[in-house]
Structure 1
Amino acid sequence: MDYYGPMVLSHRRFRPFALAWLLAAGLLPAALAQPAAPQDMVPAPPPEVEDAEHPLDDNETALTAELFYELLMSEMSASNGDAATGYALMLDAARRSNDPRLYRRASELALQSRSAEAALIAIHAWNAAYPESREANRYLLYVLVTLNRVNESAEPLAKEVARATTREKLSTIRALPQLYARASNKAAAARVVAQALQAELKHPALGSAAWTTIGRMRLTAGDKAGALEAARSALELDHTDDGAAMLAVQLLDEGSKDAEALLLPYLAATPLPEVRMAYARQLLESQRLADAQVQIDAVTRERPDASEPWLIQASLKLQSGDLAGADTALEQFTKLLEQVPPSEARTRALNQAWLMHAQVAEKRGDYAQAEAWLERIDGGVQTLSTQMRRASLLARQGKLSQARALIRAMPADSAEEERLKWQAEAQLLRDAGDYQQAYEMQGKAVALAPQDNDLAYDLAMLAEKAGRLQEAERLLRAIIARKPDHHHALNALGYLLADRGERLSEARTLITRALEHAPDDPFITDSLGWVEFRLGNRERALSLLEQAFKTQPDAEIAAHLGEVLWSMKRRERALEIWREGQRLNGDNETLRETLKRLGVTL
């Protein structure tokens, strides 16, 4: 059973001659013969169920002149925009004829006039006349939810679940979060649904779906702990359940650290590529690029004809320094898109590919080729992202003033676009090593959105680079005051103190707090390793930094790991790590400064 499908017309009808005359005269709309459900209305039951609800056949139903006139006037009123009058006449006809089709039509006319309360009167009358009618019960359920009378919906919901076959129950259970999405009291909705599904929780074919639905509704209500418990119960019953696995990914996105462990048995089986993709996006968000790479590799093997995984593959390859791999992935991505009919979405996707191709060429130092790729973007339309890439190309060729002029010449139709322009200029200056001016440009962006923690965080990082250490500390502490779980700010402040060798105990506390909110972030693990090194705990530092570098090979982590190894007289291993870091990003400032300070030439 699909809760949101079209209404099903009973094959029974009024006396043929009367109905045919009304239709032929254009006075009785087809809606009476084939009533249309309100948007998102639950459908009528299958014909065999509906037959039981329409016991009056053609020989038993007489369309009297009075009833005929009432139906005619009802439909004419509705056709002329007076649905309320049409409803009243139709409900009166339904009560006098006791025909369930007229009760249904009265309910629809009430809903058409946006009077859910009036519809409820008709539906209650319908349910009273036909207490075993599943169709009437479904209408009642729909309208009660629409009216936000969630607690009252418990009884018709329980009846619907109890009356459905096992196959119908499965689709019904899965549709409940959508049905109750309109309810304002999410906690009450979750409670009502959980109560209605109690009998299904241990059913071998339904239990996992029931727990998943309960989990989704608990999550919507803000009950993360309850949602996590529901996801765990669902996956214990069936570790291959795609819906339960997706719920675990949603919980991971909401910060539930224990949700990831629930996914492992699912991922070890035959996971749905869409679930893998959702999980990979969470890994990317957590900067766990190596783990994300494993999932994307699997998706591209399992579904090579899906385009999006190839774009993410290209991004991962680009970030890891594998430029040839990035090219290959982009070629596959564009090849697949060329098979898709032209559309705005296709154009946007191709633009992303051309931009990334330009980045790859820029990394190779082939600026002419990079410009050629940019020329392909949307027929040369001067979008901000395109111009930012062009500005980057100019800056890399030593034409910083031209690059800044290019950004400033871009029109800005809103405060957001103006902010993006200041950010773009700040990035150009940062890449050029002019941290003081970059700090000033970023400050202009922050002034346009002073409560934006991410903008303030970037400003703090530039303040640190510009030598404004007290200002950087002030900005970071302000972010933490506004958002105590901002793990990036916690980590940055802890690292700032550790790198200066100041207040190391506080630094470790800050970084530990950051790691509690993002336990798998390799860069926070790197910070903790660095503060342990500053505290003199070399073995502990080495363990943490090796873990971070294994999770995310990165030039800055390589700089720290190499220095710890160097201090422990493990010189060959240190050189090996530094060379790997140089291969990943030879321009990394931390790596270059470390090698210079230690007098090491690779």
Structure 2
Amino acid sequence: MPDFLRRTTLARLLSQGLTVAVMCSALAAASSHAQEQPAAETPAAAAPIYNSELDAPLFYQLLIGEMELRAGEPGNAFQVLLDAARRTGDEALFRRVIGIALQARAGDQALIAARAWRQIAPESTEALQTTVQLLLGLNRLPELSEPLGALLKLTAPDQRAGAIAALPRLLQRLPEPKRVLSALEPVLQPYLLQPETSTAAHVSLARLNLVAGEATAALGLLKAASSQEPGAEGPALVALEMLSSEPEAEALVQAHLKAKPASDFVRLAYGRALARAQRHGDAIRELSAVTQSDPDMLGAWMSLGALQLDLRHPKEAETALNAYLERAEAATRDGKTNPEAGPEARQQAYLLLAQVAEQKGDLKAAEAWLAKVGDTKELLQVQYRRASVLARQGKLEQGRKLLQSLPEQNDDDIKSKLTAEAQLLRDAKQWRAAYEVLGAANKRFENDANLLYEQSMLAEKLDRMDEMERLLRKVIALKPDYHHAYNALGYSLAERNTRLDEAKRLIQKALELAPNEPFLLDSLGWVEYRMGQKDEALRLLQQAYKSRPDTEIAAHLGEVLWVMGKQEEAKRVWREGAGRDRTNEVLKETLARLRVSL
């Protein structure tokens, strides 16, 4: 009988979904082909004979199963073919049966077939993988531990650590993360003690704990992994995710970079995390180190340019962004595939360079950069920059109309347009008009914490302090973890030198929610100064200014230095602040009140 009629090949045909008619044709062709073959000239040249295990009852059973499926009876087909799979032990038949169940959206039946497959072939990696995938799909987490543990045992030793490291990504979309943790903790526990898998197991368990809200346990696991293998990236990368909520996590990142200074990927991620935490000075230090170590790491140049722009260092921002564009264009010419050199990334650089030109007062150059952007997903950002250029040219109303004419596809688009228009008016110091825009927005979208917060900031500009406090307390009630609201209310009290104990409690609450954020440290330092605690105020303000050398923080730090008799140092700090933004209202008011001339 011809080779292609062996049982495994027939099962493969079944797994490919061939119809009964094709099966019959194949069998007929096989029979005809066998009859037409010429006899071998010598016994030595005879092809080996394979006896098919496809006997008449099995063929009939497969035929009936496929006919039931074609007739629209997947349940019957499933039962008939599952029985055949159990009797023959053919893995391809099990695949076919599971496929039938899944097409019929019968997950429980698919799981029954997968478990039957495991009983027939307990060492089959594919059977275990299928069982695990089905349990995940059915969200039957308590049943996951045994097959997942068996699968890890069957995984080749040199691949086991990678499989363990991949588990959190596999499970990240499942609901009820605490149940996921409970299911996987006993599976991973043995691998914590094995040298070749210890780091991966610690990191995976840490990530699962973090997602489940168990930050303390996650941090303990990361510390253990870092002490065992200080150069490992895994603990550092998970620690970066905890940077804003767990101050101790930063020490793990720093320990990794000390053990492995050339870890540019981790350093880049660290720099970006510092930037998100508003620690721009620290972020610039790390990103600059990356650009020196690996000048072709494009993301570092882009992030560095954005940070320098935010600090109002247009010259440094322009240098970094031009360095990014040169390397991105070179990579494109060389045919290198790099998403960070793609059109969307380059358009982002053009937008940033347009802002640089605005800061330098070169509105013609700003328009030229915006013209290079072309079609982009960031249409609002592009048009906002164009509106800003128009406003700086005395065409504020024209800029407003440009923003108002943008298309709206959903509520988020409408909110973004209104916020952008209010910001445009704020930049032009049109406080009342901006307040009215946000007031209308809050009537349209009630209880939106972001819109209420923005309106509260404008109420302060209009000296409506009671209204500001009312709006901020509403924000806190709606969103108790909105740290900006606690800080804004606490700072406003400190600025008016009233209810200072309450101001301090509010700002301390903000710092609990966002530890070490420079603007929050600045606010707390200012409260301490108002309360007469000059040494503590100086410590906090110096820490804030080191992390983010912002002009407003410079104004506060300079005042504390001035009243402590350190007048030359105060002037140096104020000059630095003025060099970034001479128009800053807080700095101007401070210098005028203290009668200081720079």
TM-score by length of 2: 0.86
Output the amino acid matched with 1:202.
L
Cα shift readout 1:504-548 (whole Å, capped 9, x = no counterpart): 121122222222222211111111221122122222222222222
Contact 1:460–1:475 (CA under 8 A) maintained in structure 2: yes
Match of 1:541 among 532, 537, 543: 537
Tell me the equivalent position of 1:48: none
Identity %: 43
Tell me the equivalent position of 2:459: 463
Tell me the equivalent position of 2:299: 308
Aligned equivalents of 2:158 and 2:14: distance in 1?
A: 37
Output the amino acid matched with 1:138.
Q
Cα shift readout 1:17-66 (whole Å, capped 9, x = no counterpart): 4259998xx9756469xxxxxxxxxxxxxxxxxxxxxxxx9957522123
Tell me the equivalent position of 1:565: 561
Contact 2:358–2:366 (CA under 8 A) maintained in structure 1: yes
- 1:351 Cα deviation after fit: 2.2
Tell me the equivalent position of 1:111: 102
Q: Which moved more, 1:174-183 or 1:244-253?
A: 174-183
Q: Which moved more, 1:186-195 or 1:459-468?
A: 186-195
Is 1:18 the equivalent of 2:5?
Answer: yes
Q: Which moved more, 1:376-385 or 1:569-578?
A: 376-385
Output the amino acid matched with 1:489.
A
Give unpaired runs (5+ residues) of structure 2: 19-47
Match of 1:222, SS state, is: coil
Is 1:286 the equivalent of 2:282?
Answer: no
Is 1:241 the equivalent of 2:237?
Answer: no
- 1:352 Cα deviation after fit: 1.4
Tell me the equivalent position of 2:287: 296
Q: Which moved more, 1:468-477 or 1:76-85?
A: 76-85
- 1:100 Cα deviation after fit: 4.0
Is 1:527 the equivalent of 2:527?
Answer: no
Output the amino acid matched with 2:366.
A
Contact 2:328–2:340 (CA under 8 A) maintained in structure 1: no
Tell me the equivalent position of 2:257: 267
Aligned equivalents of 2:554 and 2:581: distance in 1?
A: 10
Cα shift readout 1:253-311 (whole Å, capped 9, x = no counterpart): 5x233222222211223364343333323211211001111221233234322322221
Q: Closer, same or farther in 2 for the Cα pair 1:81/1:351, shift >3 Å?
A: farther
Match of 1:162 among 146, 153, 177: 153
Task: Give matches, 1:429-448, under 5 Å.
Answer: 429-448=425-444
Output the amino acid matched with 1:286.
A
Output the amino acid matched with 2:268.
M
Tell me the equivalent position of 1:9: none
Match of 2:138 among 139, 142, 147: 147
Match of 1:200 among 175, 182, 191: 191
Q: Which moved more, 1:231-240 or 1:60-69?
A: 60-69
- 1:487 Cα deviation after fit: 1.9
Cα shift readout 1:562-582 (whole Å, capped 9, x = no counterpart): 222222333222221111110
- 1:591 Cα deviation after fit: 0.5
Contact 2:123–2:154 (CA under 8 A) maintained in structure 1: no
Match of 1:228 among 189, 196, 219: 219
Match of 2:508 among 509, 512, 515: 512
Contact 1:94–1:103 (CA under 8 A) maintained in structure 2: yes
Tell me the equivalent position of 2:210: 219
Is 1:63 the equivalent of 2:50?
Answer: no
Contact 1:27–1:75 (CA under 8 A) maintained in structure 2: no
Q: Closer, same or farther in 2 for the Cα pair 1:215/1:455, shift >3 Å?
A: same
Match of 1:252, SS state, is: coil
Q: Closer, same or farther in 2 for the Cα pair 1:346/1:162, shift >3 Å?
A: closer
Output the amino acid matched with 1:513.
K
- 1:444 Cα deviation after fit: 2.4
Tell me the equivalent position of 1:452: 448
Match of 1:361 among 351, 357, 361: 357
Q: Closer, same or farther in 2 for the Cα pair 1:393/1:173, shift >3 Å?
A: same
Q: Closer, same or farther in 2 for the Cα pair 1:241/1:380, shift >3 Å?
A: closer
Q: Closer, same or farther in 2 for the Cα pair 1:285/1:446, shift >3 Å?
A: farther
Output the amino acid matched with 2:232.
D
Cα shift readout 1:430-452 (whole Å, capped 9, x = no counterpart): 22222222222222233343333
Is 1:277 the equivalent of 2:268?
Answer: yes
- 1:77 Cα deviation after fit: 5.7
- 1:500 Cα deviation after fit: 0.6
Contact 1:374–1:380 (CA under 8 A) maintained in structure 2: no
Is 1:590 the equivalent of 2:577?
Answer: no
Aligned equivalents of 1:534 and 1:296: distance in 2?
A: 36
TM-score by length of 1: 0.85
- 1:590 Cα deviation after fit: 0.5
Aligned equivalents of 1:142 and 1:306: distance in 2?
A: 37
Aligned equivalents of 1:282 and 1:350: distance in 2?
A: 22
Output the amino acid matched with 1:249.
L
Output the amino acid matched with 2:457.
M
Match of 2:323 among 316, 332, 338: 332
